[in-house]
């Protein structure tokens, strides 16, 4: 699958994975779903779910490390600024150094091009927050979030899942 196809599919994910309501209970349910999967599969990740004004859910799995929360924080900043998933930004920007172009004025210590941050979009309100996962290769971080959202929203995840990355 070409990069353009992946971008189009991620745009479809962002358009379809929309909440009618999002609150603390929803954040806890989605966060717990991701945590349960991580424990069952031994995924060394952290999960950070927040609205733009406050944290709602955080969990660190065995094997995650001290860098993961900082990666998640920088992914959260990217979603808040651009209102789209960080993996989509990675594919659109094509910057192997993980930084934004100098003209963007975005410091690498606060913004990173790395997959795993996904916008929380509420119908009638727009993007209100972020679900961030860090600890796996970026395409997999992204997929963990999309899987959990599909499950919660009752969307057929097979229709929205990115295919495995070509090696």
DSSP for 75-125 reads HHHHHHHHSS-HHHHHHHH--TTS---GGG---TTT----S-EEEEEETTT
Q: How many CB atoms lie within 10 A of CB 29?
A: 13
Mean per-residue pLDDT, 108-130: 97
> Quick check: 167 pLDDT over 90?
no
pLDDT reported for residue 1: 58
Domains of the chain: residue spans and CATH: 3-159 (3.30.450.150)
Cα 104–Cα 16–Cα 73 angle in degrees, nearest 5: 40
pLDDT reported for residue 21: 97
d(CA 113, CA 147): 21
**Residue 48: pLDDT band with limits 50, 70, 90:** very high
pLDDT over 90, % of the chain: 94
**Residue 66: pLDDT band with limits 50, 70, 90:** very high
Mean per-residue pLDDT, 84-94: 97
Q: How many CB atoms lie within 10 A of CB 83?
A: 13
């Amino acid at each position: 699958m070409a990069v353009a196809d992946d971008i189009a599919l991620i745009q479809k994910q962002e358009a379809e994975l929309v909440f009618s309501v999002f609150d603390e209970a929803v954040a806890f349910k989605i966060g717990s779903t991701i945590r349960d999967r991580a424990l069952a599969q031994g995924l060394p990740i952290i999960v950070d779910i927040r609205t733009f004004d406050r944290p709602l859910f955080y969990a660190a799995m065995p094997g995650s490390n001290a860098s993961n929360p900082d990666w998640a924080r920088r992914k959260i900043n990217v979603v808040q600024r651009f209102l789209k998933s960080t993996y989509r930004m990675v594919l659109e920007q094509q910057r192997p150094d993980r930084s934004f172009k100098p003209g963007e004025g975005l410091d690498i210590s606060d913004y990173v091009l790395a997959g795993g941050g996904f916008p929380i979009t509420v119908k009638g309100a727009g993007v209100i927050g972020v679900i961030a996962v860090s600890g796996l290769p970026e395409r997999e971080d992204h997929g963990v979030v999309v899987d959990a959202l599909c499950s919660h929203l009752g969307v057929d995840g097979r229709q929205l899942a990115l295919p495995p990355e070509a090696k």
